A and B are shown apart, each in its own frame.
Chain A
Amino acid sequence: MKNFRRALRPVIVFAKIDTRRLFRDRIAIFFTFLFPMLFLFIFGGIFGRPSTVSFDIAVINESRSEFASGFAKSAKEGSIFTVSEEITTRLQAEEALSRSQIDAAIVLPEDFGAVSAGQQNPGGQARVLYSLNNQQTAQAIIPVIQGMFEGTNEDIIGERKTPFSVVGESINKEGLSNFDYLFAGLIGFSILGMGLFGPTNVFPRMKQRGILRRYHTTSLKVWQFVAGNIISNSVAALLSVTFMIAVALAVPFFDIHLNGNVIELALFIVLGAIVIFGFGLAIGGWAKNENQAAPLSNMVSFPMMFLSGTFFPRFLMPEWLQTVSEFIPLTPFIDGVRMIMVEGRHLIEIGPQIGMLAVWGLVIYTIAFRVFRWE
């Protein structure tokens, strides 16, 4: 026990000093606190607004019928469409479509709303123009217009209830914003930055200056040096994430939700920070200089950055890529953070995520301790 306490002394002393160092170094402060803010505000600015479905369209009214102008007016008044004022001809509409300025153009042809021979009521067929880029949006718009026409049809023909109908009802009582989904990704990005780029920059530099070699002449063991670094990195990770969440909660525009248990979230973030730091340690501990470290750290960080759901959600990826990216170490971390933070789940419910992280941790630390060099 006494020996153990003695063995822990360098770990604790190093962690304390290293944490203090963080606050003395302007560059470290920038990367720990302000850099994540940059992403928070950029991505929050893009995705932060509470989402209501809305389409940008143009209405090309070639008809003079009262019915057609009535429809054009109601399209403008509704909240579903944002109708362009400038685009009034088919030619303009086609150009705007090809530039993806608008999602679709609704064309009301000349005979739209006229009473054709032998009919009692006005009729007509509207056309929805779309480009191949916007196929999905157009397909979503058609039923919306269909619905608008049906309402009108009933008005004209008289009360006629359809026997079968469907009504939507939201089950999300909390109402998640778009940004809730992405916010967990930004936390992941910040942990990745500290855990990977920190040691892959710092350790090779310390080797080149002979600092690690000097440590090697003392009784300091590799595990003590690593453990001290893990603690200070975890403290930095927690401070950084706390700061991010505090700012995001304080700005109502971001509209994020913190539904889970804060202690459980902190524990899970520490687990993730330790695992990601293992990758930085393996690379920085192995590399003799920055030239050896840089390509490796890019190779490891790129898939994590782009496939783990940091900047865009994984559910938008093709299925095979979703399956592959499930095994990237940052993925279970980001998923877990989202599950605890947004969905309010408990650690016990996210066993698969914790398990995946633990396996990665075991693998990467085994490698890291084998390849570690003091110089």
Chain B
Amino acid sequence: MVEVKDLKKKYGNKIAVGGVSFTVKKGEIFGILGPNGAGKTTTLEMLEALRTIDSGSATINGVDIASNPDKIRSLIGVQPQTPSFEEKTKLTELIEFFAATYGEKVDAKAVLEDVQLLDKANSYPEQLSGGQRQRFSIAAAMVHKPKVFFLDEPTTGLDPQARRNLWDLIRQVRDRGVSVVMTTHYMDEAEMLCDRIAVMDNGKIVALDTPENLIKLLLKKGFNKPQHIQQANLEDVFIDLTGKELRD
């Protein structure tokens, strides 16, 4: 679905992305990990047709991004790091507007119901909690049934309940056959959610595989850390104490 070959981007003299290649299959969740400044966001922005591509090639569904940015925009949905919407605008109106940008008409209430926000249909985005806003942002990004869905650090700043709820939503999106490309700083999130992972550092991909294989590979090298044989961690305790119920 997404094919990237030797993608490069320079800002002045600084190499932001120094030749990355990967493919994302239909209906998988592909995670891009890496420390700040590794080039994750720049890579994502080039694929979203927000940044020009210096060299290399990238296609989505066979369409070249650099030469058809307009066509690409109708194939992708984007969830920014901090979703922000115009104020004093009802959620239904925003959904109608986002659909209209693709020349489409949708049943805004049905779209909101999909992300459990029907009761907020007449609210303004500034009245939503962080988790609700993330859910709304996903709904807005999916109005035109895109083939690829990009998310930039979607769970930063969310409480454990909202995080889990978002994971469920992202899995639902994948199960509809959409390819999901996301960046994250949370390793547990990558491990539980992503089908495959690319680890970036200094503008290059240093490893690319499933989370299980990456862990196996490390263990094979003889890595070991002091083992705590515990069947639960603190987050499990937290969820056990406060429940999985979503809080808003």
Contacts and interface: CB of A to CB of B under 8 A. Distances in A.
Interface in B91-109: 93, 96-98, 100-105
B96 A211 contact: no
24 contacts: A9-B105, A10-B97, A12-B100, A13-B100, A14-B100, A17-B93, A21-B88, A206-B86, A210-B80, A211-B84, A211-B85, A211-B86, A213-B80, A216-B50, A217-B48, A217-B50, A217-B73, A218-B98, A219-B74, A219-B101, A219-B102, A219-B103, A219-B144, A224-B101
A7 interface: yes
Contacts of A12: 100
Contacts of A209: 84
A239 B121 CA distance: 28
Contacts of B27: none
The B interface, classified by DSSP as helix, strand, loop or mixed, is loop
B97 A14 contact: yes
B213 interface: no
A289 to B, nearest CB: 15
Interface of B: 48-50, 70, 73-74, 76, 78, 80-89, 93, 96-98, 100-105, 144
Contacts of B70: 219
Interface size class of A (residues with CB under 8 A): 20 to 34
Contacts of B144: 219
Nearest to A209: B84
B97 A214 contact: no
A12 B49 CA distance: 26
Nearest to A9: B100
A297 to B, nearest CB: 21
A220 interface: yes
A25 B100 CA distance: 24
A21 B102 contact: no
A13 B96 contact: yes
Nearest to A26: B88
A6 interface: yes
A210 B100 contact: no
A21 B86 CA distance: 9
A173 interface: no
A214 B143 CA distance: 14
B86 A218 contact: no
A205 to B, nearest CB: 10
Given A211-B84, A219-B74, 20 more contacts: A9-B103, A9-B105, A10-B101, A13-B100, A17-B89, A17-B93, A17-B96, A17-B97, A21-B86, A21-B88, A21-B89, A24-B88, A206-B86, A210-B82, A210-B84, A217-B49, A218-B73, A218-B98, A218-B101, A220-B101
Contact of B73 (A17, A20, A213, A219): A219
Contacts of B81: 210
Contacts of B48: 217
A119 B102 CA distance: 101
Contacts of A14: 97, 100
A13 B87 CA distance: 16
A7 B103 CA distance: 6
A46 to B, nearest CB: 36
A238 B104 CA distance: 30
A10 B87 CA distance: 18
A215 interface: yes
Given A214-B80, A217-B78, A10 B86 contact: no
Nearest to B103: A6
Contacts of B96: 13, 17
A20 B97 CA distance: 13
Contacts of B80: 210, 213-214
A209 B81 CA distance: 11
A213 B83 CA distance: 10
Contacts of B93: 17, 20
Contacts of A210: 80-82, 84
A215 B101 contact: yes
B63 to A, nearest CB: 13
Contacts of A7: 103
B146 to A, nearest CB: 10
Nearest to B97: A13
Contacts of A206: 86
A63 B114 CA distance: 99
Interface centre among A10, A25, A211 (most CB of B within 10 A): A10
